[in-house]
Amino acid sequence: MSESRPVTETDLHAYADGFLDAAGRERVEAHLARHPDAARQVADWQAQNDGLRDAFAPYAAARPSDLQLVAGRRANGKPAMPRFAVAAAAALVFLLGGLAGHFGPMLFEKPPTVTAMDALPHEARNAYLIYASEVRHPVEVFADQEAHLARWLGKRLAIDDLKVPDLTTIGFKLVGGRLLPVTDRPGALFMYEDETGRRVTVLVARNEENRTTSFRFAAANGVETFYWIDGDLGYAVTGDISRERLQQIAEECYRQFPT
Amino acid sequence: MSQSPDPHGTEAGSGREGAPSPPFSFDAEILALLPQLRRYSRSLTRSDAESEDLLQDCVEKALSHRRQWRGANIRAWAYRIMTNLHLNARRAVARRPSVGIEEAENLVESAPPSDPLARNQLVQALNTLPKEARAVLMLVAVEGHTYQEVAEILDVPIGTVMSRLSRARQLLREKLAAENVIHLRSPR
């Protein structure tokens, strides 16, 4: 490889930091082969990088107090976030559990009071991950028995007149549904599929607290969930699709579910 | 990340009045960033205590300035807040003692066991760098930002980023080459 232009100090830094493409690396390596001082310098920089990363890597860990730091109070008793209730903090725990799985155990050492509904996005995500990837048995009852599906799940969740949302107007066809436990109570999972085979799930669960929330959003590893609580029921729409599309689905479900 | 949508307006039925509730995802994003912010904070400062102070100040500022966040890269925004807090606290920190003997030992013990002596030497050398140069080196080497990102975080031209990076590396090199002993207490 001929040296098309002189190697600058910026090139050397970029080489040490791994920011160059193959051609750039080749150009710099040719230069370093002819300039031993520069080669030693770059090697030292790389050793510094390694040493620094090693030295500070152990600090990149979540701590049980993190939640308090964001949602709770400072040690001096001054409320950092007075408008945030414990319940919101608890929901954050679950959110983070998904966002950073390996930090989860640390956070759960001192769990705040967790209600069934705070677990909703977490449960919805798990259900999506387990069932949406099933090719042959994604659901227990398929869409061809939709009326039966609605009656059956309605009965198990004690919802009169449970309607299976119709998402065909936004391009998602019902695959079917299944019964599943959501924090120890029966929950209903509906699965939909678009023409390219991408799936979204709609989870309906009992909420014991009888409160109502706005739409909320949780994301972890590309899987996104919109959820909301409407009286004694909680809903979560989960999928690996664009947030705009998912929100559209969530709004459509909200419109169709009886309030 | 975009703001959390709220198609129903404010929280229906929750009885909350006044300002709309803040976007829920904002707090989750900050929470998820805490581990790397903690690492960055520790890499800028000389002790665990100083580091936790900086982290707390950063989180508090991020939360109280959430309205200023324009929905762009929240990670760069958080790094920017922390860097500014740290650089602006110049005088207060200059008076502080550097790593004490017990902390220095703890540092060695808490780090992975590859070469604790060399690492301690490196960290000591780091404490002699000008803050601006140190911040650039940490953002690049430890936090993995590109030079362009660092320029945006620090709000300086990229040429300044490169000269600070160069300075930090050169100073570290000289320091490490000169040192044959480990200073558990740095000289100043």
Q: What are the boundaries of each domain within chain A?
A: 9-59, 61-114, 117-256
Q: Give A23's contacts (C-beta < 8 A, 6+ positions apart).
A: A1
pLDDT-wise least confident of A36-50, A62-76, A95-109, A171-185: A95-109
Which two tokens mark B4?
A: 């959390």
First to last CA, chain B: 43
Specify the higher pLDDT residue, B129 or A120: B129
DSSP for residue A138: S
Which B positions 74-113 lie with beta carbon below 8 A of chain A?
A: 107, 110-112
> Best of B143, B169, B182 to disrupt the A interface by mutation (most A CBs within 10 Å)?
B169
The answer, for B183 touching chain A at a CB cutoff of 8 Å, is: no
Q: What span, in angstroms and rounded, lies between the C-alpha atoms of A55 and A49?
A: 10
Q: What is the CATH number of domain B24-178?
A: 1.20.140.160
Judged by CB atoms closer than 8 Å, whether chains meet at B5 and A51 is answered as no
Per-residue model confidence (pLDDT) at position A62: 82
Judged by CB atoms closer than 8 Å, whether chains meet at A215 and B110 is answered as no
CB pairs under 8 A between A and B: 156
- The structure tokens 């990670």 sit at B75
ipTM more than 0.90? Answer: no
Sign of the Cα pseudo-torsion (B149, B152, B154, B156, in order):
positive
Q: What is the CATH number of domain A117-256?
A: 3.30.200.100
- Which of A17, A59, A212 lies nearest to residue B14, judging by beta carbons? A212
Per-residue model confidence (pLDDT) at position A9: 94
Judged by CB atoms closer than 8 Å, whether chains meet at A52 and B141 is answered as yes
The answer, for A33 touching chain B at a CB cutoff of 8 Å, is: no
Specify the higher pLDDT residue, A66 or A6: A6
**Are A123 and A187 within 8 A, CB to CB?**
yes
Per-residue model confidence (pLDDT) at position A91: 56
**Digit-coded pLDDT (tens) for B80-110:** 999 988 988 754 444 444 444 444 444 433 3
pLDDT at B28 over 90: no
pLDDT at A57 over 70: yes
Beginning with the edge strand found earlier in the chain, give each strand of the sheet holding A216-220 in spatial order.
A141-142, A173-182, A185-193, A199-206, A233-239, A223-230, A216-220
Does residue B41 sit in helix, strand or coil? Answer: helix
Q: What span, in angstroms and rounded, lies between the C-alpha atoms of B145 and B87?
A: 18
Partners of A218 on chain B (C-beta within 8 Å) are 25, 28
Per-residue model confidence (pLDDT) at position B9: 38
DSSP for residue A224: E
B52: closest CA among A99, A71, A75?
A: A75
Q: Give A74's contacts (C-beta < 8 A, 6+ positions apart).
A: A80, B56, B60
User: Residue A107 to residues A79, A124, B101, B141, B183: CA-CA distances in angstroms?
Assistant: 21, 20, 31, 28, 36
**Are A223 and A128 within 8 A, CB to CB?**
yes
**Digit-coded pLDDT (tens) for B112-171:** 445 667 777 888 899 999 999 999 999 999 999 999 999 999 889 999 999 999 999 999
A256: closest CA among A185, A189, A136, A161?
A: A161
Helices A9-16 and B147-154 pack at an angle, to 10 degrees, of: 100
pLDDT tier at B55, thresholds 50, 70, 90:
very high
Q: What span, in angstroms and rounded, lies between the C-alpha atoms of A70 and B31?
A: 6
